[in-house]
Every structure is written in C-alpha cells, then in structure tokens.
Structure 1
C-alpha cells in the first residue's frame, strides 16, 4: 500500500517518536492521522499545526475500553502504528517488586496486541492495511540493565510474527521496527549519538510501502544486530556489565 492517502492511528503520539510519526505521515501524504494519547490535550498542538489532518483522541493502550472506543470511532484507519511504550529503568531481581516489569509488559506487549485485535477488522474492511510495531534493539538482544523492558519487546517481536501469519489472508502486513538510540525523553539517560525521531519514522515508512517484516531504523540498531551476529556471547558479557554501572539518575 501507499502512504499517500492513507488514514493512520498512532499511539503515544503526543511526543517523541510518536509525534514524529504523525509529522512524517502528514509530510508523506497521509489523508488523516488520529493522534492517540492518554491525555488528548497533550496532542492538541498537532491538531493546530495540521488543521483537518490530525485529530487527537484519548487512547491509553492499557485500557481496553478506550481501545474498543477508538476502533469504533476510527473506521477509516488503514495504518496502525503501535508506538506507545514504557521503560521504568528497574532491574528484574534488584527491583523492590515486580510492578515496573508488569507495567512494561502491559504497555509494550498487551497494549499493541489489544490494538491489533481491535483494529484487525477495521483494516480488513479498508483493504488490509498495515500494522507497525515500534520495538527496540532490546527486542533482538537481551539488555540486563533494562529489566522488564527488554523481555516485553522480545515478546512483542514474537507476537508480531504470529499476528502477521494470522492476518496474511486479509492482506494486512505487520512490520517490527527495531529502534536503537533516538533523541527522546525516554532515552534521556542514554549517552552517545542519537538519531532524530523523524529519521526513524521516515525509515519506518518502508514498512507501509513495501510490507517489510522487520526494519532496523537507525545506525545503532544495524550495528548491534551485526555485533550480535559476530560474537553473541561476547556481546552478552559486555551488556551484562551495564547492570553494575551506577547511573547518577537512579543511584545504581
């Protein structure tokens, strides 16, 4: 399918990569974008910048009632961008309890799954369409210092494969976006060079136009996949060291 003329819904659209998706979709000719956010007021600036093109809607991906309401209110959607994410910077064993890991799984796995289930009939009625799942390098190699975040992204990557098989018959493509180091608030603690969110969104457009199963959206993602292929155990040992590095922001 083509981006030109499509109607998209983007979760977590009020900032970061989600906001970049809204901008790039409009830039590349989308007819309309529903900007989903827990507080739709936080996405009003996009409505103002793109009058008639962007509509902010209340959408918390952990609230199945809101997801169902969104699917009913947006019957013209042909592209679903599952972008909303949670990262609590807690360890699996070292955390005081499992609440952070549970929430990361709710937002990063069950949320996109619920969106796919709710919008699959909508996509079918509109010719098949596309689902883009915004994942992470943490979804192709386990990052011990990321606690529940990395396992949740692994889970959604596997789910994407299953959903792709289920929806192939109705012509819906499902693309996993492997995102590396991006200049967003969620990645504020990460040091080093970071990509612009808009560049990641532009790279992801191939998932719509080509139906690509998986896309490494930036240089860091490409380099990490290559490092894993060269020496997976060496990379695992290197990443394990990060668990013991004290971060000023967390005291670890």
Structure 2
C-alpha cells in the first residue's frame, strides 16, 4: 500500500520501535495516531496521541472510534517478562499471552471494519525471531509470539477478501528498553528495522525478516529439531 497520505495507528508508539515506526510514517507523509496506554508520554511532533491499552476492551473500542479513518494498523505493543513456561509464574505467562497475542487479536478485530470501510489497507504485526526459536527461559514470550505468527497467517487469509493485507515483522534483539541487558553488538538499530518494516508494508510482503539471525532461523525451520 502507498504510505503517503495513509492513516496509521501505531500501538506502543511512545518508545522503542513503535516510536521509530510512528516517526518514519510521519516522514513518509502519513497521518499517524500514536497510541499508548498513557498518551501523555507521546512526545513526537506531527502525531495525534491516542489512548489505547491492548488489554482493555473498552479502551480498544474507544480508540477504534476515535481513529475511524485508519487505513493502516501497526500492532507493535508488547511485553516480555522473561518467564519460563513450567517453573515460571503462571500469572506472568498469562499476562504475556494477554498482551502479545490476545491484545493484538483484539485490536485487529476492532480496526478491521474501519480499514475495510475506508477502502482497504494493511496490518503490520511486530513479531520476533522467537516466533520460531523457543528458548526455555523465555518460554512465555516465545509461546505468545509463536501464537502471533499463527494469528498473522490466519488473519492474512481472512482479511485479504476485505482488501486488507497482513504482514509480519520478525526481528531479533533491538537497541530498545526491552533488550537493555543485551550487549550492544548483538542488537539492531530500531530505526533500520522500522525502515525495513515500512518498505515491506508498501510492497505487500507477508514476512519481513529484519536481521541475519532471523533469516537464518526462518531458513532452518525445515530441518529436523535436534535430539534433547
């Protein structure tokens, strides 16, 4: 889709990758609703702050009403609690799934009618290399992102007849608050990832692989898993 003069809603737009996506959308000529649980924390020039908590159905409905002219939805909001699935806190596991999977689903369901009614458009889901690689210490996050992969593929098929394309962005560590403990040389610049992502949306790519580790992991999916 053409991003110039698109109307974009970016969740989690007050920091990290979401902030970069919102800023670059403005630079490409889009109208941008920068959504966050606390809209007062959005400090980007040229955007419209929008209150949106992806775990709150009432907040989602209100945001979809306020941004009813949307043609592009960027599902970026997410959390990581570094929780394993078996020994970890069950509530933390549920929180990751509620935010990273059910939140993305709820926002997509709320905005799809508006995007369709505005002549069609696109959805971009920010996922992870951990959609495909599932380390035990990050089991809750990996499970939620794997579910997000399935959601992205199923929604692509379901929304295509309604004129809405669906892309997934898959990326490893980025230089954001979520990966603050990771050495700098292992992290990608979120500005570069945002540019790749938006290029992919413009060209309608179903999967956008943002770095070398993600490309390697994606390619390895056909291989048999190693023995335990």
TM-score, scaled relative to structure 2: 0.94
In structure 2, the residue matched to 1:38 is 37
Question: Are 1:154 and 2:153 matched, yes or no?
Answer: no
| Counterpart contact for 1:181–1:220, Cα < 8 Å | no
- In the other structure, the counterpart of 1:178 is 170
Instruction: Give yes or no for contact 2:132–2:221 (8 Å, CA) kept in 1.
Output: no
Instruction: Please say if residues 132 and 207 of structure 1, whose CA atoms lie closer than 8 Å, have aligned partners that are also in contact.
Output: no
Equivalent of 2:203, from 190, 210, 215?
A: 210
Conserved 8 A contact 1:12-1:36: yes
Equivalent-residue separation in structure 1 for 2:66 and 2:221 (angstroms): 44
User: What is the CA distance between 1:229 and its match in structure 2?
Assistant: 4.6
Aligned residues: 227
Superposition CA RMSD, Å: 1.6
Matches within 5 A, 1:31-110: 32-43=31-42, 45-46=43-44, 50=45, 53-95=46-88, 97-110=89-102
CA–CA distance in 2 between the matches of 1:200 and 1:80? 17
Query: Which protein has the larger Cα radius of gyration, Structure 1 or Structure 2?
Result: 1
Cα deviation per residue 1:35-56 (whole Å; 9 max; x = unaligned)? Answer: 111111111x11xxx2xx3011
Structure 1: segments with no counterpart, 5+ residues: 238-252
Task: Say if 2:179 is the partner of 1:187.
Answer: yes
| Equivalent position to 2:190, from 191, 197, 206 | 197
2:128 to 128, 136, 143: 136
User: Residue 231 of structure 1: CA displacement?
Assistant: 5.2
Alignment check: 8 A CA contact 2:33 2:50 kept: yes
Secondary structure of residue in 2 paired with 1:195: coil
**Structure 2 residues without counterparts, runs of 5 or longer:** none
Partners in 1 of 2:85 and 2:182 — Cα distance? 19
Q: Structure 1: which 4+ aligned runs deviate by more than 3 Å?
A: 229-232
For normalisation by structure 1, the TM-score amounts to: 0.86
Equivalent residues of 1:77, 1:122 under 8 A apart? yes
Change (3 A) 1:232 1:186: farther
| Residue of structure 1 aligned with 2:156, choices 164, 174, 177 | 164
